[in-house]
Amino acid sequence: MKAAILKALGQPLAINQMPDPAIGTGEVVVDVAAAPVLSYANEVFSGERQYPIDLPMVPGCGAIGRVRASGPDATHLKPGDWVFCDPTVRSRDDALMPDIALQGWSARGDGAKRLQRYFHDGPFAEQVRVPTENAIRIGEIDPDDATRWSALNVMLVPYGGLLAANLQAGEKLLVSGATGNFGSAGVAVALAMGARCVVAPGRNERALADLERRFGERVRTVKLSGNEDEDRERMRQASPGPIDCVMDLLPPSATTTTVRAAVMAVRPYGRVVLMGGVGMLGGEGLDLPYPWIMRNDITVRGKWMYPREAVTRMTGLIRAGLLDLGHFDVTTFLLDDANDAVTHAAANGGPFRITVIRP
């Protein structure tokens, strides 16, 4: 099969032939129809993000495809089924504390690195081998729509945070980082889940206006000034009532004061979910006042990725017409042009934009 291979950090992807993946028990081989390119892929491939990866490697993080073959443990999957290939690979020998690797992307810790050595190559290829439980059926789709269904890869991340926060219909949510790729998707997902209102702060006035245009009065935008106390008060005032939940999706480049301004806008007895990248590249940690957390009975939790059932549940939101894939502007590249796709994704990583490789 043909694949795009990252042989060394800082080098372009090499488009080469390599052996087709061999299937084993507990595994599925999928013909890749569409593989999204994350906006920061160039930072991973250059080494700027210092992701722990084992090279050479076929990269990529998630895909839409059709089952080619499944192992003897599969009881429902059959050849031709459309599936989302979930990159979140969990070890099977410790249900309480599984090691987790992102197939074709990253692995932290010794256990995750062992997972990565086996489920090694990602979907920037004509075929990919995944654990049985990671090939999740999405139902019949038009092959021409496979690239648009790649938006699952973006929307599932904030959906995982909203499930962790136990967001309920009618509640008021603040999305910190709402003008980014994951944050804007989080706005759409929260509204599909029945949020009464989403407060969307940011500095990009064009992106804020676009959110208002797409979603109307259920989105209340706030232009950030950089003054922590002032911004926090403006976020509170923008909401039609006390903010029930805050989800942070800000990137590593954001300041901790921007995060804290949003987090501390939540009401007493409210919930906060941290999913962003602040502090991942060094610098200050997030300083939240102990008395504020304790006396206001605030729940603060971290969340990385999403539970397995999230794919099926999100597919239901799409099938019900509550979540519109039409919001996403998709740019497609052939596998031979994978390096151009990485460059394009870096320059076009804004709200509701996805770059996809179509092998």
Q: What is the DSSP string of 94-136?
A: -SSS--EEETTTEE-SHHHHHHHHHS---SSBSEEEEEGGGEE
Give a yes or no: residue 310 inside a domain: no
Which phi and psi (to 5°) does residue 129 adopt? -105, 125
Question: Residue 71 and residue 77: Cα distance in Å, rounded?
Answer: 9
Query: Which of 259, 286, 302 corresponds to the end of one domain?
Result: 302
Pairing of strands 88-90, 82-85: unpaired
End-of-domain residue from the set 267, 285, 302? 302
Asked whether residue 141 is domain-assigned, the answer is yes
Same domain, residue pair 166 and 237:
yes
Q: For residue range 298-356, what is the model confidence (pLDDT) as tens digits?
A: 999 999 999 999 999 999 999 999 999 999 999 999 999 999 999 999 999 889 999 99
Residues 107, 166: one domain? no
CATH number reported for the structural domain that contains residue 121 in this entry: 3.90.180.10
> Which residue segment(s) compose the domain that 285 sits in?
156-302
Q: How far apart are CA 222 and CA 199, in angstroms?
A: 7
Question: pLDDT at position 52, please?
Answer: 87
What is the number of domains present in the chain?
2
One-letter amino acid for residue 247 of the chain: M
Same-domain check for residues 130 and 15: yes
How high is the pLDDT of residue 283? 76
Is 265 found in the same domain as 249? yes
283-292 residue pLDDT tens? 788 999 999 9
pLDDT in tens, 82-122: 999 999 999 999 999 999 999 999 998 999 999 999 999 99
User: Alpha helices of the chain — where are they, by DSSP H?
Assistant: 41-46, 110-118, 146-149, 152-164, 181-192, 205-215, 228-238, 256-263, 290-295, 310-319, 338-347
Say if 133 falls within a structural domain.
yes
> Residue 311: CA atoms inside 13 Å, Cβ hemisphere, count?
23
Residue 321 lies in a domain: no
Residue 17: its H or E element: strand 14-17
Give pLDDT, residue 307.
94
- The closest of 134, 106, 136 to 120, measured between CA atoms, is 106
pLDDT at position 279, please? Answer: 84
Residues 168 and 291 in one domain: yes
What pLDDT is recorded for position 113?
92
Domain assignment of residue 135, yes or no: yes
Domain boundary among 284, 302, 320: 302
Q: What is the CATH number of the domain that holds 298?
A: 3.40.50.720
pLDDT above 90 covers a percentage of the chain that reads: 93
Does 87 lie in the same domain as 9? yes
Question: Percent of the chain beyond pLDDT 70?
Answer: 100
Q: Say what the pLDDT of residue 231 is.
A: 98
Q: Is residue 308 part of a domain?
A: no
Both 87 and 171 in one domain: the answer is: no
Per-residue confidence (pLDDT) for residue 284, from 0 to 100? 81
- What single-letter DSSP state applies at residue 60? -
* Segment 123-146 mean pLDDT: 97
Q: Give yes or no: residues 126 and 215 share one domain.
A: no
- Please tell me the distance from the alpha carbon of residue 217 to that of residue 130, in angstroms, as a whole number: 42
Asked whether 190 and 175 are in contact (CB, 8 A), the reply is yes
166 and 272 belong to one structural domain: yes
Instruction: Give the C-alpha separation, 145 to 37, whole Å.
Output: 17
Residue scoring higher pLDDT (284 or 274) = 274
Tell me: cis bond preceding 56? Omega within 30 of 0 counts. Answer: yes
What pLDDT does residue 343 have? 98
Residue-level pLDDT at 339? 98
Assigned domain for 320 exists: no
Neighbouring C-alpha atoms within 13 Å toward the C-beta of 43:
15
Residues 24 and 165 in one domain: no
**pLDDT tens, residue by residue, 196-227:** 999 999 999 999 999 999 999 999 999 999 99
Average pLDDT, the chain: 96
- Residues 7, 107, single domain; the answer is yes
Helix (H) or strand (E) holding 20: none
- Report how far residue 181's alpha carbon sits from residue 259's, in angstroms, rounded to the nearest whole number: 17
Instruction: Please say whether the beta carbons of 161 and 185 come within 8 A.
Output: no
- Other CB atoms closer than 10 Å to residue 336's CB: what's the count? 12
Phi, psi values for residue 289, rounded to 5°: -65, 125
Residues 143, 162 within the same domain: no
Give the confidence band of 282 by pLDDT, cuts at 50, 70, 90: confident
Place of tokens 């409210």: 270
Question: What tokens appear for 54 in the block?
Answer: 């084992």
pLDDT for the residue 80 = 98
Identify whether 64 is part of a domain. yes
